[in-house]
Structure 1
């Protein structure tokens, strides 16, 4: 449902004739309307062309959480150089999402969708062969651009093909995106364990190619546009992309350069603020802006967009911290990291199905508040993790957290569409689509910075108190040396070195887990703030437009 894709879907029209009940049917038999489930099953080819790609788009959002840990070392890189890969991925996604309105208006939704799958497949294949971080960054940018095109057209395609069942389309969209996100780390751990990190991109390239062939054959062609596409806000797109580039530099370089006195930091920060101000001005003055910011005057839309941004930011941050905690800090086997998250996959699947079946407008706010309470309590419990927390406990808390996220997934998508007319839903698409990528990147980047600063501060505290703790540290080091000598047969000199390495790693791991505790504490505060904000959602009048279910 990319920028202006709602308008494009309406212009492209549907390609299947439907019999509509009409009082003046001239005595012709009226075809009774079919249930949403039967209508979906009656067009299996279309469903198979759209739903798997929707799952793939969701999976891609978190599929590289674990592999990136190993890519850095296997490409002889470092985390600062690899951050350009992450930044290029974000820029590619923004370009794909923001440009879909222009593309769909000129080549149609079907071709736009197929182009997205082509770019995704080509980018995945190139990433699997990348010899270094620079080629990998380019490949990931192309892959992310294609993923952005796919993710922002699937809902518009569902609505175009099944116009009588838009609510079910929203439910399918919510399930595909959020199920894919929670399943991504577990799938990647299985792939990495059985081969290496490149197998993740082999798999996504193969899945993209299969999806492309199925969509090519199954999706009906677009009908001719009723009216030519209007002017596109290329100036707004350029300003947005330039601002995102400044955002990427800020998230990944300010911590390295210094926050207050580095000239580079001041220049990039000033440029970013100027670009943001120019972009906002452009959106209020352009005849057909890239983002219709006036919609933020509508209560439910503004609340829905902000609440969803906060929830998505928390989702990506929690999942990223948990993956790093298990794979790096605790040094779990790769397959064990994925196995710990499997209960979370099952729990979210259950609540996504539950809310799709029983969710209505009347209970939407209650489900949102209950889910936020669950997210808050689970995130708060994660502040207790340490170097000795059992896998079973982590898996249980992660499952409760994922179940709570599943409860809020459908409500946050629907709330932003409540009380909006069809043309307003179309013009709001770009804002909601950018919410698929920007909140996670911003929240994840800020939490990573806060975690790093907290870990460094705690490590400095341990280092500065070494004189006070010299006696117990010496006793521990002597005990380790004796144990290594007896059990491994090492020479005294080698045993001393190995004992020092073990002790240093323990201290660094303690600092890292303290940083994770701090990050989960901040995320708990954000979750509480999201709950408070959701309490102010107003009740809609019965006749208000918008989704009735979900």
Structure 2
């Protein structure tokens, strides 16, 4: 391999990882600031949920569109556009005068994140050959793990030491630095797409929004209410219509032929449940440390490090080992460990519980979920031909973000059902009454992901034989 090629690959990996760090930081940096935001903006639990889910939902439903835009208009160009949109929306979040403005700005931020995340993955997977891709993705997710690990800590430090608005101002200099470097150091690349699947986008957006709305409103409006039933049924019907449309579309968002591959289908299903479990638990754990145990935002972020910090350490190692041993062992074992850790926490959680009792299950859960990221991504992108990597990465990113949306929605629904709507913040005991069942739900989601992981191929196969053809 010549020096120029090696240097070019390193620039792609470094810039993609930096951008991914910024997006990942913003996904979790809010968690330890939620209690402060709730106080400053007089926000309800539902409003707090939407500060997380507005970002994740727009992020999720636009990921496939982001992949198509990158394929058609240039991956490097749209990567830079996404960075610009994300940076501008971050400034709008910091300037929010009320919870409604913040939720709207978070939705725009999610749109920028969709471009950044999808195209960062596509740029990295295209830059590295199959035999080195797992190791590169391990480094990529390890760097992202640094942001995940530091996100709650940074959020807590800024919310406590300065103001919660600075968790968003932090993105502005990073974005302004990365955009010109990306335009200069990354070669442009295109995919096979020539158009956008607008009906498909509308159907999947409406379907996801309907299901999330129903889950969010279930406890407050009543699970048997017309509003909730209509939202859930309408969302399910729109998603079914999306599948039907994708069979007919000339240029589908998701070529359904991909799902004939076990590696592709099982990898996406597993990562959906893995992220659902992770995000549902993260949403409540930072608040439990503050509301249930009385810690400050910074102290809460510090006490999350045994959990979130494992991604920085474990993901690169797992990524390198995936290239040798295949994806299934890491996916199944990892999600089993995540389920065990969450179930353990649910059993010992109570007001005043000693923090040292929470450290072992946090480390177990963190190591487990950290093993899943490079395994799932490698499984998915290795199951398609090189020209379809952008779409495959887009599908995988979509499943991750939709998993996060549904995980938070399910955890909040369980929390509100156990603690009582609006009662969870009344006292440490009231919060803990909802927290235990919510974390149990996260454990069950992780167990479902482990079962899905059993569908992955049992051993590593050559990418040329594993890739499925793309329907014309």
TM-score, scaled relative to structure 1 = 0.77
Q: 5+ residue gaps in structure 1?
A: 1-32, 461-503
Q: Match of 2:307?
A: 344
Q: Distance in 1 between matches of 2:460 and 2:138?
A: 22
1:277 and 1:85, CA in 2 relative to 1: closer, same or farther beyond 3 A? same
- Offset from partner CA, 1:52-108 (integer Å, 9 cap, x none): 112112222211112222212212333334544444323431354132134224431
Q: Match of 1:175?
A: 142
1:337 and 1:541, CA in 2 relative to 1: closer, same or farther beyond 3 A? closer
Residue among 392, 395, 415 paired with 1:431: 395
Tell me, yes or no, if structure 1 residue 414 matches structure 2 residue 378. yes
Secondary structure of 2:74's match? helix
RMSD: 2.9
Q: Tell me, yes or no, if the aligned pair for 1:46 and 1:219 is still in contact at 8 Å.
A: yes
1:541 and 1:146, CA in 2 relative to 1: closer, same or farther beyond 3 A? closer
Residue among 439, 442, 461 paired with 1:520: 439
Secondary structure of 2:254's match? coil
Structure showing greater Rg:
1
Q: Match of 1:463?
A: none
Give the deviation of 1:527 after TM superposition.
2.9
Residue among 154, 167, 170 paired with 1:200: 167
1:76 and 1:368, CA in 2 relative to 1: closer, same or farther beyond 3 A? closer
Secondary structure of 2:251's match? coil
Q: Tell me, yes or no, if the aligned pair for 2:341 and 2:362 is still in contact at 8 Å.
A: yes
Residue among 532, 538, 541 paired with 2:457: 538
1:366 and 1:106, CA in 2 relative to 1: closer, same or farther beyond 3 A? closer
Q: Tell me, yes or no, if the aligned pair for 2:326 and 2:460 is still in contact at 8 Å.
A: no
Q: Distance in 1 between matches of 2:115 and 2:461?
A: 35
Residue among 241, 260, 266 paired with 1:297: 260
Q: Match of 1:155?
A: 121
1:34 and 1:388, CA in 2 relative to 1: closer, same or farther beyond 3 A? farther
Secondary structure of 1:440's match? helix
1:523 and 1:273, CA in 2 relative to 1: closer, same or farther beyond 3 A? closer
Q: 5+ residue gaps in structure 2?
A: 468-472
Secondary structure of 1:359's match? helix
1:426 and 1:46, CA in 2 relative to 1: closer, same or farther beyond 3 A? closer
Which runs of structure 2 are paired with 1:43-442 in the superposition (5 Å)?
Answer: 45-163=11-129, 165-220=132-187, 222=188, 229-260=193-224, 262-362=225-325, 364-383=327-346, 384-423=348-387, 425-442=389-406
Q: Distance in 2 between matches of 1:533 and 1:95?
A: 23
- Offset from partner CA, 1:231-284 (integer Å, 9 cap, x none): 321111111222233233213223221111x33223333432332222121111
Q: Distance in 2 between matches of 1:48 and 1:303?
A: 29
Higher alpha-carbon deviation: 122-131 or 385-394: 385-394
Q: Distance in 2 between matches of 1:546 and 1:323?
A: 45
Which runs of structure 2 are paired with 1:489-500 in the superposition (5 Å)?
Answer: none
Q: Distance in 2 between matches of 1:215 and 1:425?
A: 20
Q: Match of 2:470?
A: none
TM-score, scaled relative to structure 2 = 0.89
1:353 and 1:537, CA in 2 relative to 1: closer, same or farther beyond 3 A? closer
Greater RCO (CA < 8 Å, at least 6 residues apart): 2
Q: Distance in 2 between matches of 1:85 and 1:521?
A: 23
1:517 and 1:85, CA in 2 relative to 1: closer, same or farther beyond 3 A? closer
Q: Distance in 1 between matches of 2:390 and 2:316?
A: 27
Q: Distance in 2 between matches of 1:332 and 1:258?
A: 33
Q: Distance in 1 between matches of 2:157 and 2:439?
A: 27
Secondary structure of 1:77's match? coil
Give the deviation of 1:309 after TM superposition.
0.8
Q: Tell me, yes or no, if the aligned pair for 1:292 and 1:428 is still in contact at 8 Å.
A: no
Give the deviation of 1:132 after TM superposition.
1.1
Q: Tell me, yes or no, if the aligned pair for 1:340 and 1:394 is still in contact at 8 Å.
A: no
1:392 and 1:512, CA in 2 relative to 1: closer, same or farther beyond 3 A? same
Q: Tell me, yes or no, if the aligned pair for 1:186 and 1:338 is still in contact at 8 Å.
A: yes
Q: Write 1 or 2 for the structure with the bigger share of helix.
A: 2
